[in-house]
Structure 1
Amino acid sequence: MVDSDYTYSVDDCDVQDKVKLRTFREKRRQWKDWLDDDPDHAIWRTVQELIWRDVQFATIGQLAKDNPEGPLNTSLIAESLIGGHVAQQVLAIRRLMDKGRNRISLYRLVVDVRSNRELLTRENIVCFDGLPFDHEAVEAREWAEMTPGVRWGHTTGPRAWSTSERLHRKFDRVSGHHHPNRSRSDTIPKATLSGLEQLLLSSGAARIAEWSHAYLAHAGAPFDREAVKSVAIANGTVAAAIRDLALITEYVSSQILWIGGYRGALMPTPQFDVFEKLENPVADDAGQQEAALVWERKRREWDDALEGVDELLAREEAANPPGI
């Protein structure tokens, strides 16, 4: 029976250890879901949202710089934009660095891949969906059977020798095993996977995540703040952290697991005009007067929000009288 996520059944794959291949394909499906398919927390989606907002914020910043008397330099707008941007970026980075169980994060993906290193054999990585292991024998057979004229080679399945060769070479680079010393049981070195985890833990993303625990998501104790006070949450710092996260995600996705990748296409393509209506003013005189009324109304609401604090418990007891 063919799995809906794969073209070829386990029995039709050129792999000697079918049990291990079956387990690998189950784990690979889970890892692909974490990377690409989860509708809410996919890792690549979060990385691309970070990149989109970084480009967006830099563009808005240039507009404000070029028009110092323009509305983007009004504190009402500037403070909201800057504060909201930093909060969104920091919390998204924190999500990708989350170490909690039952969470989807880049950190958990790296740890889970490392914990299942025994499944990352050469024959599983190359032949998990029908590709041949011995690409040279298949290539020789294909050329011998080829008739004169233009022919297209196979890119998938047991006759796709060129795809198999490419995966072997990729596995060579990651594993350190090279032709002619290839073996079906070659694995990704433990040091490689541990190195990815250490890269994450020592990255700017990890420091920003720690900063968020102490300052943004929680009220940190003085000791926590002391430990992370050197982290400057500037746009350049955040951009460097995003670059670390994107590189590690791409390495795990395309170099180890052969689950696509986004090299050359990290930035999402907008399906609308991002500069639409920029030529219009933020507000005319009448609009400014209406906005001032909203400001005043909300100010009064909050200034009066603490009225009645003396009767707070009395109201609670009246609504929920104690039992006799």
Structure 2
Amino acid sequence: MYLDMLASGFWSRTMQGIRKLVEVEAISGPRGVCSIGGLIHDARCAREKLTRKVFVVSISGSEYNYETVRARYWDFVGTQQPGTAFWVPSDLRYHISEQRHIEFDWLSGTSPGNSSPDDIIRVEVFDALTERLARLNDIVEHVNVEIAHAATEASRQGRVLDQWGLDDAKAAIKELAQVAELTGRWFCFEGIGTVLPTPQFDQFQHLNQPLFNGDNSDLHSIWRELDSEIAQWHDVEAQSLLRL
């Protein structure tokens, strides 16, 4: 019974967490939410104001013209002692501005030859992000009916998940992680980083007292495999994920 309670609580909290991150409302206001869906919603609403210049200058804190910064960078390099290491000041790191322009070329459907500070993001980008999150709607509906609301047995028919296991949970969290990586990188100038925590101790040391009876080395092996896989989730290209 105790293990059933742990398992039930784990699945309920996992599903509720997914529901919260997917929820689509404005971030501010009486129904404000702090979610990935909310961030995408607000960015879409601000699309006309989210220009290339805002994307490069205001969000990332870079100078708009990276060629000017590149020239200052090489002037700075020329003043350094040959063969020695040196620290490059942050205002001379032209590659950040250059990368932001490259990203916005794709987001706006333009190219370096016809770009403008007033370019805006294609609406198809927001549609694609929303469609990715919509893949998790079955989980949202399950939480609404089975966990969050007092639905009757009759009203739950056809609206709850028949089964949901570890592979389903991992796939759902991967979906969230990859969408969050892109939206965070674009609109907050910061990705999600590491998804699975890095333990500073033996995370399975006392698991056999009283919940587990077996060889902990198998658990360590599973953890390392999972860690190796999840570490790659944030390394995602927009073109392959959104297929635009």
Distance 1:215 1:178 in 2: 49
* TM-score with structure 1 setting the length: 0.56
Distance 2:113 2:43 in 1: 27
Distance 2:139 2:54 in 1: 36
Gaps of 5+ in 1: 1-75, 283-324
Match of 2:16 in 1: 91
Q: Which has the higher helix share?
A: 1
Distance 1:217 1:197 in 2: 23
Shift of 1:219: 2.7
Which segments of structure 1 move beyond 3 Å, counting only runs of 4 or more? Answer: 150-155, 221-224, 278-282
Larger radius of gyration: 1
- The percentage of aligned residue pairs carrying the same residue is 29
Whichever residue aligns with residue 89 of structure 1, its letter is: T
Distance 2:88 2:98 in 1: 12
Structure 2 counterpart SS, 1:178: coil
Equivalent positions of 1:238-277 (< 5 A) are 238-254=169-185, 256-263=186-193, 265-277=194-206
* Aligned-CA RMSD value: 2.5
Residues 96-148 of structure 1 show CA distances to partners (whole Å, capped at 9, x for unaligned) of 12345122222112111111112221111111265221212332344356236
Distance 1:90 1:130 in 2: 36
The answer (yes or no) to whether the contact 1:125–1:258 under 8 Å persists in 2 is no
Residues 180-227 of structure 1 show CA distances to partners (whole Å, capped at 9, x for unaligned) of 2221111111110122122212x1x22111011111222324564234
Are residues 122 and 105 of structure 1, via their aligned partners in 2, closer, same or farther at CA, if it must alter by over 3 Å? same
Are residues 246 and 231 of structure 1, via their aligned partners in 2, closer, same or farther at CA, if it must alter by over 3 Å? farther
Distance 1:181 1:151 in 2: 38
Match of 1:234 in 2: 165
Please state if 1:147 is matched with 2:72: no
Distance 1:142 1:246 in 2: 35
Distance 2:61 2:168 in 1: 44
Please state if 1:176 is matched with 2:101: no
The answer (yes or no) to whether the contact 2:66–2:95 under 8 Å persists in 1 is yes
2:125 to 174, 177, 192: 192
Are residues 257 and 116 of structure 1, via their aligned partners in 2, closer, same or farther at CA, if it must alter by over 3 Å? same
Distance 2:95 2:180 in 1: 26
